[in-house]
Chain A
Amino acid sequence: MFRRRALAGFVLILLGLGLLVGRYVYLQVARHDEFAMRSTNNRVKPRAIPPARGLIYDRNGVLLADNVPAFRLEVVPEQVRNMPELLARLGKVVPLGQDDLNAFNKQLAQSRRFQSVPLKMHLTEDEIDRFAVNRWRFPGVDVVPYLTRRYPFGGLFAHVVGYVGRIDADDLQHLDPQRYQGTSHVGRSGIERSYEDVLHGTPGYELLEVNADGRTQRVLETHPPTPGRNLYLSIDVRLQKAAENALAGRPGAAVAIDPRNGQVLAMVSEPTFDPNLFVNGISQADYSALTDDPATPLYNRALRGAYPPGSTVKPLLGLGGLELGLRTPQDTVVSTGVFYIPGQKRGYRDDQRGGVGRVNLMQAIEMSVNTYFYKLALDMGIDRFSAWMGKFGFGKPTGIDLVGEASGILPSRAWKMAHSRQPWYPGETVIAGIGQGYWTVTPIQLAHAFATFADHGLPHAPRLVMATQGPIGSPRQPLSNPPSGPSLVNNPADWDAVNQGMQMVIYGPTGTGRSLASGFPYLMAGKSGTAERYSRTTDAYNTDKNNAYLASRHRAWFVAYAPANEPRIVVVAMLESGAWGAEDAGPIVRKILDAWLATHGGVIPGGAPAPAAAMAPPAPAAPAAPAAPATTAGAGGDNLPAAAASAGGNP
């Protein structure tokens, strides 16, 4: 039985092998002449042509990332007998750094022997000349032209545009080998990374005629590649420069957003670095210098830095109090200097010893009165508090078109239980009311939250890229950015009241940001924030008023928007070490606003002009009315609250 089956199997196998031989007979006998001719005429090889990478412009067409021709040294491993010996000889003609050799050996190990491997990028004229003279000594080595990336503004856009880097072993794991044939660089960070797919394009190929040594004789056919699409950022170089100059190298960040559509107008993180260093492989020395710098220039503070927001978030909390029906704008609270949770001993202090007396919402925002917001947060409770603030995007990525955004922390019961396995204490709600405690936000998050507020509660995810473009000269295709959700404001009067309070920060006689008003022609609104880096150990007043000492303890924030009646720009500035929000971060915001105004020729159609003089101090107990933005604009009166009072109808 088994013998018969085994014999049957053998017969089947012989039949299969016979079929195989039949195929070889067909190829080697019947079609031999044809293939012999094709073999002798076989001088055609395909070679991939990498696509040119899309260019990156600012909103006005200023070039931020350019392709420039360069030359690199490539080696075809198969044509080299003794690689170490060749590299040693070659090193005497063209200096090869250890970094070049490491990268080369890594790539050599994983490429096919007939594929050329780049050895040294960005050759100098001198190196090209010296190699050309000695080329005959190095079979399998060639100078090859390629396009390399150049960032003409250097560090100014390092944290936005990012940079490209040489493709390495890890990249090969996830890149489509067909699409990346012949390509040496891939987006590593910033826009270069998040828009890699758009920027890259599709490779083409050419058919080359080669001689018996494999050297190219001529090009027979060319199927050109499709270049990557160009990108237009919504950033304006002039605002970006103004923001960088205003930060003046101090560690911090500044972000400007157009609240009407979420377009980012400026985004700066200081200190910064030169992205051009990374393009052709950064040297170990340069890299160490960047990573060892205590100011961490590689760290994108705007996107990844999470800091306590401090008092900047008070207007949003105030809006929550109104929208949730817990307060009316005229409801007042007495600030005595210290606030106690009923039945508890620990006191939560105001900024001013003795407090400021009785204040309503607008005054509480104007003077940043802690007691008002301590009490409001406590009345709201942590659950409603975190639900409300979550709507403004705190505690989660904003969805900006960059990779690596930090989420920050929005405190909640669930977060604390997951984080420390502890229940929530009321005292933690109190300090959350002034943006302290566990709460951390990134500058982009805060800008996003206030852009949402400024657009009357309509959220738009921040966007850096506003349009793409095919070949140069073809029309730009704008990318739409529809609102990411419904408006957060149900009652326009609530918005008006908070807006009024934020205007009083700038124009009120006791406003924390009153120094910023002078000379700016349009009505603006803002809020300062001075967050403590370390938790306070006592509720005693700090008597050390030395600014350097305070700067070491404080993070300074300022947020502003203009024109206050119909906001078109929101600016956030943050200094990692700033003594006071208004005094230190405020001027940065003002300089960016000035630059923005200049880009519009100093004229904002429909923008309400700034009041000519500072507002009169409102009587502490007087029920102030929310401003009705558009109507106050026309009045242009000396006293904004007075004008507003006539217009605003209150329940």
Chain B
Amino acid sequence: MIGTIHVRARRFLRRILTRPRIDLPLAVGLVLLAAIGLVTLYSASDGDLGLVGGQAARFVLGGALLLVVSRIPPAVLRSWTPWLYAGSTALLVVVAILGEGRGSMRWLDLGVMRFQPSELLKLTMPMMVAWYLHPRQLPPRWKDMAVVGLLIAVPAGLIAEQPDLGTAVLVTAAGAFALFLSGMGWWRIGALLAAIGGMVPVGWHFLHQYQRDRVLTLLNPESDPLGNGWHIIQSQIAVGSGGIFGKGWLHSTQSRLDFLPEHTTDFIFAVFSEEFGLIGVCAMILLYAFIIGRCLWIAMEARDTYSRLLAGAIGMSFFVYVFVNGGMVAGMLPVVGVPMPMVSYGGTSAVSLLAGFGVLMSIHAHRKTHI
């Protein structure tokens, strides 16, 4: 028995390595992105090879996870979906009860490593929405939309309560994109957005004071010279001073002289913009657009609703990372903890992102099968 498992595991591993089911354009895009990320991190961390090595190790781990996930057929993923969703939501409840974290409850201590269950929802959320919608008549009716709304609201509410507004936004967006791709009517989307707009004052009421401060600071950065206002001002100086051509690699004065806080994590894109200028920014945005476009292409090639919705939602939520982080660095959006994907140092986000791309690879490999 044990021997059989052993043999099967070996066969599985051999297949992963010898016959990887990967989409070459997407893989090239990701490798390029990872390379740019490491190069930028080297400069932002002032040549700290330990830091760069740690990030590279995360990419290796994430890549391995990508290969493993890419071997799991979408049909299997689909059958696991309700359990994965329920499990990750239950973990959020556990964290809410006994989690630990500095000032906020996000982490579960597993002894060996600390683990952030909200990270799982970034993947299980679009899976669940796709799972719920796939056997139903599309475009979805009001009732189905209400159920999907509930499926999104419960975990997103728990995450926002931690409080981790950035992740809550990402998780909500992932679910909402699946709904959008299911063909929800335009006027309904308009009505929904209007309703959300109407809820903003109510939501404001529920924000923590520090979250409100961040939004207000955005409007008047000079009011908070020791905190977030400082971040915003210094980040804009870094971006603006980069100009069209940039100051060149390893020549970011803002980061080097410590004017830019969090310059290896949330604000690393400011370092990139300072060193590579507008040309670098455009190239980078193009690369992100290519990856998102490729994801949507894979979604369109898929035959079944579940795979389509899932692949499309994962690709589109990648955009939210880029937009929120890029907007924050450029002083356009408030400071929330959303990393620049594959560039910002640390966190479990690189690993979970790559696992998500593993799902896309699997969907691509099975594009010809009906499930």
Contact = CB atoms under 8 A, between A and B. Distances in A.
B296 A35 contact: no
Interface in B282-322: 282, 285, 288-289, 292-293, 296, 299-300, 305, 308, 312, 316, 319, 322
Contacts of B243: 28-29, 32, 36
B102 A27 contact: no
B326 A6 contact: no
Interface in B87-111: 102-103
A389 interface: no
Interface string A3-19: 10111011001101100
Contacts of A3: 300
Contact of A27 (B183, B299, B316, B330): B330
A74 B292 CA distance: 47
B273 A173 contact: no
Contacts of A78: 46, 258
Contacts of B299: 2, 6
A173 B237 contact: no
Interface string A98-134: 0000000000001010100000000000000000000
B211 interface: no
B244 A28 contact: yes
B115 interface: no
A13 B226 contact: no
B319 A23 contact: no
Nearest to B277: A28
A205 B326 CA distance: 30
Given A16-B323, A28-B273, A78-B46, A6 B237 contact: no
Contacts of B254: 39, 42
B330 A214 contact: no
Contacts of A39: 237-238, 240-241, 253-254
A476 B243 CA distance: 59
Interface in B206-237: 225-227, 230, 234, 236-237
Contacts of A2: 181, 183, 299-300, 305, 308
A25 B282 CA distance: 9
Majority-rule SS of A interface residues: helix
Contacts of B72: none
A20 B319 CA distance: 11
Contact of A9 (B181, B226, B257): B181
A16 B225 contact: no
Contact of B258 (A16, A21, A24, A214): A214
B253 A42 contact: yes
A600 interface: no
A416 interface: no
A285 interface: no
Interface residues of B, number: 54
Interface string B257-269: 1110100000000
Contacts of A27: 236, 239-240, 330-331
A178 B227 contact: yes
B241 A35 contact: yes
A178 B226 contact: yes
A321 to B, nearest CB: 52
A27 B232 CA distance: 13
Contact of A35 (B182, B236, B258, B285): B236
A7 B316 CA distance: 11
Contacts of A29: 243-244, 278
B261 A9 contact: no
A2 B138 CA distance: 10
B357 interface: no
A632 B288 CA distance: 97
A98 B331 CA distance: 45
Interface in A194-244: 205, 207, 210, 212, 214
A178 B285 CA distance: 36
A46 B296 CA distance: 46
A2 B237 CA distance: 43
Contacts of B332: 20, 23
B177 A9 contact: yes
B129 to A, nearest CB: 14
B323 to A, nearest CB: 5
Contacts of A36: 240-241, 243
B323 A6 contact: no
A1 interface: yes
B319 A17 contact: yes
A220 to B, nearest CB: 12
Interface string A350-361: 000000000000
B316 A20 contact: no
B197 interface: no
Interface string B151-163: 0000000000000
Contact of A172 (B102, B182, B236, B322): B102
Given A20-B285, A20-B327, A46-B226, A9 B241 contact: no
Given A21-B281, A35-B237, A38-B241, 13 more contacts: A2-B181, A2-B299, A6-B300, A6-B308, A9-B296, A17-B319, A24-B330, A27-B330, A35-B240, A39-B240, A42-B237, A172-B102, A214-B258
Interface of B: 46, 102-103, 138, 177, 180-183, 225-227, 230, 234, 236-244, 253-254, 257-259, 261, 273, 277-278, 281-282, 285, 288-289, 292-293, 296, 299-300, 305, 308, 312, 316, 319, 322-323, 326-327, 330-332
User: Which 10 pairs across A and B sit closest by C-beta, in order of nearness?
Assistant: A35-B240, A39-B241, A27-B240, A28-B278, A35-B241, A32-B243, A36-B241, A23-B330, A13-B319, A114-B258
6 contacts: A5-B181, A9-B180, A24-B273, A27-B330, A36-B241, A42-B237
